[in-house]
Amino acid sequence: MGRFDGRVAVITGAARGIGFGVATRFAEEGASVAIIDLDEAAAAEAAAKLPLAEGAKSVGIGANVAKAEDTEAAVARVVEELGGLHILMNNAGITRDNLLFKMTEEDWDLVMNVHLKGHFLMSKAAQAVFVKQKYGKIINVSSTSATGNRGQANYSAAKAGVQGFTRTLALELGPFGVNVNAIAPGFIATEMTDQTAARLGLDVDEFRKLSADANPVKRVGEPADIAAAAAFLASDESSYITGQTLYVDGGATVA
């Protein structure tokens, strides 16, 4: 028996990277899984790769999480095709890094819309299901950048906002059986961080080594590290935990 047998989980931005790692872990533990991504073909391809347990199902859905009509339609489709909704992980995100004097208004708006507005719209759509059934788990993805990071005024502000959003939803939804928490990853080896290395003119291995050397455990994180934390926060074992942000960063924020 898996701890998510009979549960339905939705992960946004899960066609690759952290999101796909989480989707894989949830599937391994028995959940039916919906992968939501801006690219529906990529979402469907990723959903087809999940190691589903007997009786579980998966679906890939294309949606822009910054559009209310897309998020409402996505949640409705999940409930119809997978038979319910119990877990939402708001993971979709983008970066548009630059120093403040070079950052455009479009760079700011795009990052805010995907992270903050996306979390808001997906949570709003999902809570209608959660409140009615008196059960639900929401996991929001923040970042260690929430504490400030040069060249990421937009991203840092958005990720700090995610933490405030998480605490507020915990207060509002707690009486209805809904737990809301956040995970703040440190450096995780993904295609996104590889692209950051390229933008900085660094070799990927060199970039990862620099990141590993900057934390106490002396290694970079993997999507599986975030998936392990998400599996705990999405389970009934965490029913007395809400409104918290768990930093999964190899100790980088305390170094």
Catalytic (active-site) positions: 155
Phi and psi at 61, nearest 5°, equal -125, 130
Specify whether the CB–CB gap between 182 and 189 falls below 8 A.
no
Which two three-digit tokens encode residue 53?
A: 């347990």
- Distance, in Å, from the CA atom of 159 to the CA atom of 6, rounded to the nearest integer, reads 32
Encode 180-211 in three state secondary structure.
Answer: EEEEEECCECCHHHHHHHHHCCCCHHHHHHHH
What are φ and ψ of residue 87, in 5° steps? -135, 130
Q: Which backbone phi and psi does 9 adopt, to 5 degrees? A: -115, 140
